[in-house]
Amino acid sequence: MKVLDFIVCSNEPLNDQNHLIKVVPANNEPMPEMFPGQFVQILVKNSPNVFLRRPVSINNVDLANNELWLLVKRVGEGTEKICKSSTGDIMNLIFPLGNSFTIPEEKCTTLLIGGGVGTAPMLFLGKKLSEKGYNVNFLLGGRTASDILQITDFEKYGNVYCTTEDGSFGEIGFVTDHTILQNNKFDFIYTCGPKPMMVAVAKYAVSKGIECEASLENLMACGFGACLCCIEKTVRGNICTCTEGPVFNIKELTWLD
């Protein structure tokens, strides 16, 4: 873990709410190794109402350019300010934080399900899995076509399936309605997105006996295990999402109880 100033090298709006922000370390030193599922804590400056840092997943690590990618959705003042950053701005990060998704021992068929901005960590995960020779399938869900982000990036690393609630892109309905869930066989499912979606995915995985990991977005104060605010009630008791998560095997969670 480090506290480090980065420089914003680009900030691209992907739709009316989501921005892809690429940053490089200000001192240009090589970044430490990072793993899919890990996140950063962003310091939000210039805001009268934002006091705490904001947690954001690692969307991609571009080693060639020493770039870190962040996919950020505007939901409140913190993410609003982050989405307003301009090229050249300094962004202070604590990183890398949290555990990471499990890479199964055996090369196998994986399904990465992301809903909304929950697709963010799936890109980095898919990339790593594909580099290691796994069969990678992405299932991305949104309300409407414009919610499906970074599709050309995803296509580099695996098959991409989509659902939209209004049917404007991919199949109509929720991710768990997609036909590949009926037609294809998967060995490992990863999911990140709104809780109802993740619960539905978890139910599916349990019903099929498939290993499944979910990435949680609990409210955090510190992000590195010091405050005990971000706990998730698990079969092992209250556990910190920021250090022992954000990735949990769904068997650990008490969601389906």
Partner 1 sequence: MAGLEVQIGDLKFKNPVTTASGTFGYGTEYKDFIDLGALGGIFVKGTTLEPRQGNDYPRMAETPSGMLNAVGLQNKGVDYFINHLYPEIKDYDTNIIVNVSGSTIEDYVTTAEKLADLDKMPAIELNISCPNVKEGGMSFGVSCESAAKVTRAVRDVFPKTLIVKLSPNVTSISEIALAVEGAGADSVSLVNTFLGMAIDIESKKPKLSTITGGLSGPCIKPIAVRMVWEVYNTVKIPIIGMGGISNWQDAIEFILAGSTAIQVGTYNFIDPTASVKIIEGIEEYLDRHRITSVTDLVGQMRI
Ligand X SMILES: Cc1cc2nc3c(=O)[nH]c(=O)nc-3n(C[C@H](O)[C@H](O)[C@H](O)COP(=O)(O)OP(=O)(O)OC[C@H]3O[C@@H](n4cnc5c(N)ncnc54)[C@H](O)[C@@H]3O)c2cc1C
Ligand Y SMILES: Cc1cc2nc3c(=O)[nH]c(=O)nc-3n(C[C@H](O)[C@H](O)[C@H](O)COP(=O)(O)O)c2cc1C
* Positions at the binding site for FAD: 54-57, 78-79
What does 242 interact with, of ligand FES, partner 1, ligand Y, none (CB < 5 to 8 A by kind)?
ligand FES
Would you say 118 or 223 has its CB closer to ligand FES?
223
227 contributes a contact to ligand Y by CB under 6 A: yes
37 contributes a contact to ligand X by CB under 6 A: no
Least distance CB 218 / partner 1 (angstroms): 7
246 contributes a contact to ligand FES by CB under 6 A: no
Binding residues: 54-57, 78-79, 222, 227, 230, 242
Q: If you count them, how many residues does the chain have?
A: 257
Per DSSP, the three-state class of 166 is coil
Name residues contacting ligand X, limited to 115-174 (CB under 6 A).
117, 120
Residues 6 or more apart from 47 whose CB is under 8 A from it? Answer: 77, 78, 81
What does 227 interact with, of ligand Y, ligand X, a copy of itself, none (CB < 5 to 8 A by kind)?
ligand Y
Strand 2-13 relative to strand 90-97, pairing: antiparallel
Q: Which helix (H) or strand (E) element contains residue 54?
A: strand 54-57
38 token code pair: 């890990």
Per DSSP, the three-state class of 48 is coil
Residues 6 or more apart from 44 whose CB is under 8 A from it? Answer: 50, 53, 54, 77, 78, 81, 82
Of 30, 48, 88, 237, the one binding a copy of itself (CB under 8 A) is 48
Residue numbers of the site for ligand Y (CB under 6 A)?
227, 229
